[in-house]
Chains A and B, each alone.
With several copies, the nearest count.
Chain A
């Protein structure tokens, strides 16, 4: 057991720190046009797509260097390394693994430059957690696929130009072998026949959308991987889980905010932070977040050693889901009537922030696979208990 870094890793950390010292103003001091130069600079450092092979324009960073880069960036609350989030997280790695040379040349540079947004289309109405039950259909017509159907809960779709999506090209309406006959397509969202209908969430934000496909023609060359092999493409893409380092830093930041809130709130003549119940709740959050951090490092070590990883990421997903729900709700409860205010009511600590936070958890909790699904994964894959 050893939490030290190699000299070359330490050098890399110094390089990152120095870069941040020189190029990243403190969180409150970032000007409106800061992001443009920032993105150019990190792109020049090849820190965008840092884990990708250098042959496609990535950084070729080792696992530990990726960890160090994330740690330093999140510690300074740096903006993301590129705005094309879905492209960098999911689509790019899929294209690198399964794409043709032509697809790589066409899409990867744009993703690295964050030229436009990507979104990913898995869910459909009436499908829910059972992704493989998808029914959005594509049939061959000459050199094109013709898509008919709909995708829903597509995150960032209202802002995206392209979608990575799964369609069914065989096995329609069957419940057996439903994983067969799924094909992955890359689709330009400006194609005729596509309608994007934003979905407003309960916090009033429009980040998700339902997308309707009416005889949408997609050239064959936009298929990713073999026809009928889309499930494998997806699994490998979903398996490309990011470590939870960024999330942990975010949760620690939220814990600080929450501690400040408790320290500045009074109830019934007593400071909220003096209540043993509240103190214990905060400390329990801390233990969970620290456990997430250390679980992440432990699993990372296994990954570096090349040991097989089963579904351990579900452990941190469950923690995060609980923390996202509980921390926001605890804050709102502590703020009392003031916690309910969406805006207005001056002189109230934290107004608006926590109200929105306490309504925004489903994006994380449900979006990442419901807690019930995560528990099934652990029980079935790790503990070898029977399937439902």
Chain B
């Protein structure tokens, strides 16, 4: 029994932290998030060299062959820095391919991801809302010339910044994922800003796109469920780091800022709120770590543990984001000051891969069906 990280994982954390401290201060985050691609291509190549892009890819496909517990270390640190890059999207894309694709496809794509040449994203749902299987309604047109997709997928992460998409659709009552190249004619990528500019979101529009048999993979509900759950864990891992940043920045502010002759951190109105943040972060951290462990080590537990983690994190971080700004007083809500970037991230994180309502409902359903 060892509910902690190995020495190798701790080393990885130090490495990631150093990389982000050196390359991606919050000033740099602000620069990158305003660029047309929303990420830094030089840094992306360095991440490939460091092995982070192939982290969860099998060595058979030129990856490092580690798992989601290791990945959580990277995601936590990226969350701490609000690092803008299609990293989580690509890892979820990679995880999905690994679950559903055939050998030749894996061989064609996974090594490219590890080398930093391929980035990908999932385009699963048709309406803004819950990551629920009923929310996949795109139907393939079955014609004499073949299968075609006509429609759109909104709220696709890093839309326009990646070169492959796994798009969910239905045909004759079955569910499929099809791998589409961003260069496909008929595929249009647009992106529109959300309040969190460090997280790109956009729409894929699909204009009469032909589905090749080699690029489509049948998936059952359980597999799809797993994809959503892994996504929830991934976002929740970023939320740990981001929430810890809020706590650290606000604690520092409370130690330094004096009012009425005392550091404001002396007043229980401030210090107790910070203690409550600590309690919540510690707690969803435990839930996220455990959920990450179940992804490979205890798959039947994933559905529950992912929901517990994402539900707790969604409520807690949303409050932490608001209170972090509030405890900073007026300076906290200026564009110039960084704390507000974390408030925006808290709302983005809550809305993606299921908010607390969605996951709590999933938890109680499971409890009642036992």
Contacts and interface: CB of A to CB of B under 8 A. Distances in A.
Interface stretch (A17-25, A188-196, A276-284): A276-284
Nearest to B301: A3
Contacts of A53: none
Interface in A372-388: 372, 374-376, 378-380, 382-388
A44 to B, nearest CB: 27
A230 B315 CA distance: 44
A4 B297 CA distance: 10
A98 to B, nearest CB: 27
A340 B311 contact: no
Nearest to B271: A379
B334 A379 contact: no
B42 interface: no
Interface stretch (B54-62, B160-168, B178-186, B322-330): B322-330
A295 B334 CA distance: 33
B311 A388 contact: no
Interface stretch (B85-93, B97-105, B124-132): B124-132
Contacts of A266: 127, 129
Interface string A250-264: 000000000100010
A202 B334 contact: yes
Contacts of B276: 318, 375
Nearest to B319: A329
B32 interface: no
A130 interface: yes
A315 B279 CA distance: 5
Nearest to B263: A386
Among A3, A201, A340, the most chain B Cβ lie within 10 Å of the Cβ of A340
Interface size for chain A: under 10, 10 to 19, 20 to 34, or 35 or more residues? 35 or more
B134 A280 contact: no
B52 interface: no
Contact of B3 (A263, A267, A298): A298
B80 to A, nearest CB: 17
Nearest to A255: B367
Contacts of B261: 175
Contacts of A385: 251, 254-255, 263, 265-266, 270-271, 274
Nearest to A378: B275
B344 A202 contact: yes
A338 to B, nearest CB: 4
DSSP class of A's interface residues: helix, strand, loop or mixed? helix
Given A294-B3, A338-B128, A358 B347 contact: yes
Contact of B287 (A133, A290, A379, A384): A290
Contact of B286 (A64, A201, A298): A298
Contacts, number: 289
B4 A280 contact: no
A297 B285 CA distance: 12
Interface in B259-277: 259-263, 265-272, 274-276
Nearest to B281: A315
A4 B3 CA distance: 10
A286 B270 CA distance: 28
A171 to B, nearest CB: 15
B81 interface: no
B337 to A, nearest CB: 8
A259 B367 contact: yes
A288 B368 contact: no
Interface stretch (A138-146, A161-169, A239-247, A300-308): A300-308
Nearest to B330: A153
A268 B325 CA distance: 32
Contacts of B318: 329, 333
A345 B279 CA distance: 38
13 contacts: A3-B298, A201-B335, A208-B330, A268-B130, A276-B357, A302-B4, A329-B318, A329-B322, A333-B318, A340-B347, A342-B193, A359-B195, A378-B275
The 7 closest A-B pairs by CB, nearest first: A344-B192, A294-B286, A291-B283, A283-B360, A202-B340, A362-B333, A379-B271
Interface of A: 1-5, 9, 64, 67, 123, 126, 128-130, 133, 152-153, 175, 199-202, 204, 208, 259, 263, 266-269, 273, 275-277, 279-280, 282-284, 286-288, 290-292, 294-295, 297-298, 300-302, 304-305, 312, 314-315, 318-319, 325, 329, 332-333, 335-345, 348, 355, 358-359, 362-363, 365-367, 370-372, 374-376, 378-380, 382-388
